[in-house]
Amino acid sequence: MKDYTAHISLKEKLFRAGIHIPVGLFNVFCLYVGIVYGVLLFAGFFAYEINEDWHIKDNAWLDIMGWIIGFGIGVAVLFILKLLGVV
């Protein structure tokens, strides 16, 4: 399998993923406030990233991976807070 990101340094990959973690966290917050808000943010973010990758071939999967990490962390934190009765 060919590595299409070989030209991107590990530092840049981590940075690109890292700056999208807050978007995933915010998406969990939006889902908690109202499912419509969360779904709209999810749809808008993914449509933007796919369109960006389609046009400028910027390996948008790095941004999406950051969102997934943030979303996973947010869901885990929300789950723990619910177990503790905080929310």
User: Mind listing the pLDDT tens digit for each residue in 9-32?
Assistant: 999 999 999 999 999 999 999 999
Helices and strands of the chain, counted as H and E runs: 4, 0
CA–CA dist 66, 13 (Å, integer): 10
Model confidence, pTM:
0.89
pLDDT band of 1, cuts 50, 70, 90: low
Answer whether residue 1 is part of any domain: no
C-alpha angle with apex 30: 72 to 62, nearest 5 degrees? 45
| Any domain includes 48 | yes
Residue 7 CA to residue 25 CA, distance in Å, equals 29
Structural domain including 34 reads: 10-83
Residue 20 lies in a domain: yes
Count of domains for the chain: 1
Q: Is residue 66, in this structure, part of any structural domain at all?
A: yes
